[in-house]
Amino acid sequence: MSSLKLPVEISDAFSDPKYPITPLLTDISTHIIGIKRSSTSIALPSHDAPASKKRKLDNGTATNGSSSEAWRVQSAAATYSVPDASFSMPQRKKLHLQLIGGKGGGLRAQSSSGEIEFGVSWKDIDQVFCLPVPEKAKRQHNFVIIPRGGDGITPPPADSSAPEPIVWTYDEPSGKALKEGEDPSPAKVGQALNNHLHNFGKEVIFPSASDFASAIPQSHRKGEKAFHVKAFRGSKEGYLFFLSSGILFGFKKPLAFFPPESISSVSYTSILQRTFNLVISIQEPEQDIEFSMIDQIDYAGIDSYVKQRRLNDASLAATRKAKKYNVNAPKGEEEQAAEDEDGEGELQKAERMLQDEEDEEEEDYQPDDESDGGSPSESSGDEDRGEEMEDVEEDDDEDEEEGDLLEKELGSEAEDVESDGMR
C-alpha cells in the first residue's frame, strides 16, 4: 500500500459509514511498522532528546541499526566481559563491561536489559590507563579510557561536543572472593584490553616508579609506593599522575590528560614552606592550567620527571609537538635529557629569586659583588688611589737606587772631601 493512498482511504472511511474498516486498519498497521523499522538507526536531534538520553547520543552509541561498528550491535558477542562493573564516567552506575572483537569492535557498557549505554571503538582510543585509587583501604584500580579528542584540554570541532572519557573501577578480590591460584591484580583485565589494543599500536599503561613515585608514605599501606600527588584545580580536589605518556589529573570531572606534545612548558609558582603550585602551559589553545597546594615533599620527583622530558624548556615546545611521545611507540625510544649544568631546579631558582627580592627590600641590603668594596664609584676611587701610592713608592725606590749608585761611583773621593773638610 502506497503511503500516498493511505490518507485518501482514511478520508473515504470517514465520509462513508459502510467503508470496509478491517483492510484499512491493516494498511495503517503496516505503514506504522514500516516507519519504525526505517527510523531505528536515526538518532534524535540533541535538542529533542530527553536529558537522560543525551549522554548516550553524544557518545555516539546506538542500540540498533546497520552501523559498520560491531560494538554498537546488541547481538554482537563479547570476547571478554565484567558483570556489574562500577562506572564513574560518563555515567555513575553499575553496568556490564563488554569487549567486542573483530572489525568495528570496541569497548561498551551494557545495561541488564541489554541496552547499550555508551562505548568507543578500538580505533578511536587514544590512551588507556590502569591507576591505583588513592587513599582507599581496599585495593582498587581505575581503568581510564581517553578517546581521541577527549583529553579535556583539546577544544572540539565547531558544532560538536568532545567525547567523554570512560572510567570504571576494578576491585581486587580478597578473602572468600579470591579463588585459589587467582591473581587479584587487574592484570587479567589489562591483558584482555591489550589483546584488542595491540592491533592499533596501543596498550594499557600502568604507573611506574621509573617515571614517578610519591615520596609521601602511605599510612594504610606501609612500604608500598604511591603514584599520585594530591592537588587542586581551582576548588576541585584531585590527583596528578606523572605517567610515561603524559600527565593525568583525575578522577573527578573534568578529567584532564596532558600529552607532552601539547605542553609548552611547566613551571612553579606560589612557593611556600610546605606547598607549591604547578603550572602547565599548553599550546593549543594557548593557556595556563594551575594545580595548587602540592606538597613540597614531592617536588624532587616531579622536577625530575619534568627535566627528563625537558618540559621546563619552552623552546622545545615545537619539537615536542612535531614528535609524538607515546608509551605505545616501540620500546627504547624514550629520550633522557640532561639536567641543567648547575643542577639547580626550577623550584630552587624561584626560591633564590624570591629571596633576592626580599633582600633588596631590606634597608641594610648591599649586593654581593659590592658589599666588600662599597659602591662602584668608591671602589674605582680606591683603585685609583692605590695606583698613585704604588707610583710614589716606585719613585722613592728609584731615588734610593740612584743615591746608592752615586755613592758607589764617588767612593774614596767622597771620603777625601769629608776628611779635608774636617781639617
Residue among 79, 157, 167, 160 nearest 120 (CA):
167
Q: Once rounded to an integer, what is the mean pLDDT over residues 47-68?
A: 45
pLDDT at 158: 86
Per-residue confidence (pLDDT) for residue 272, from 0 to 100: 94
State yes or no: pLDDT of 70 exceeds 70.
Answer: yes
Stretch among 193-207, 214-228, 283-297 having the lowest mean pLDDT: 214-228
Cross-strand partners of 278: 268, 291
H/E segment holding residue 49: none
Distance of CA 319 to the CA centre of its chain: 18
Give every CB contact of residue 251 below 8 A, 6+ residues apart in sequence. Answer: 88, 133, 142, 144, 167, 238, 239
Give the residue-averaged pLDDT of 72-98.
96
* Cell numbers standing for residue 28: 495503517
- Alpha-carbon distance 277 to 272, whole Å? 9
CA distance 16 to 1: 20
Of 130, 203, 136, 219, residue with least CA distance to 167: 130
Q: DSSP E strands: which ranges in 15-92?
A: 80-89
Q: What is the pLDDT of residue 208?
A: 97
Identify the residue whose cell numbers are 609506593.
225
Percent of the chain with pLDDT over 90: 49
Decide if 105 contacts 71 (C-beta within 8 A): yes
Check pLDDT > 70 for residue 267. yes
Which tens digit of pLDDT belongs to each residue from 350-397?
Answer: 566 666 655 655 555 454 544 444 444 444 454 555 555 555 455 555
What is the percent of the chain with per-residue pLDDT over 70, rounded to a whole number?
65
Give the SS3 label for residue 137.
coil
Dig out the grid coordinates for 317 from the structure.
Answer: 615546545
> What is the pLDDT, as a whole number, of residue 372?
45
CA distance 172 to 45: 41
CB contact set of 78 (below 8 Å; sequence gap of 6+): 98, 99, 100
With beta carbons less than 8 A apart as the criterion, state whether 145 and 120 touch: yes
Helix (H) or strand (E) holding 118: strand 116-121
Q: What is the pLDDT of residues 175-188, one digit of tens each?
A: 877 887 788 999 99
pLDDT of residue 25: 77
Closest to 88 measured CA to CA, from 291, 259, 250: 250
Q: What is the pLDDT of residues 142-169, one digit of tens each?
A: 999 999 999 999 998 888 899 999 999 9
H helical segments located in 109-262: 187-197
Mean pLDDT of 296-322: 88
For residue 325, name the pLDDT band (cuts at 50, 70, 90): very low
pLDDT (0 to 100) of residue 137: 87
* pLDDT at residue number 220: 83
pLDDT at 37 over 70: no
Report the C-alpha gap between 73 and 22 in whole angstroms: 37
Q: What is the mean pLDDT of residues 114-120?
A: 96
Q: Which residues contact 188 (CB under 8 A, 6 or more apart)?
A: none
Bridge-partner residues for 228, per DSSP?
Answer: 241
Instruction: Tell me what pLDDT residue 340 has.
Output: 46
pLDDT, mean over the chain: 78
Strand 263-269 relative to strand 166-171: parallel, antiparallel, unpaired? unpaired
Largest CA distance in the chain: 183
106 vs 352, more confident: 106
Beta bridge partners of 74: none
pLDDT on residue 397:
55
Average of pLDDT values for 401-413? 50
Lowest-confidence segment of 100-114, 220-234, 372-386 by average pLDDT: 372-386
CA R_g for the chain: 40
Confidence of residue 172 (pLDDT cuts 50, 70, 90): very high
H-only helix segments in 198-257:
none
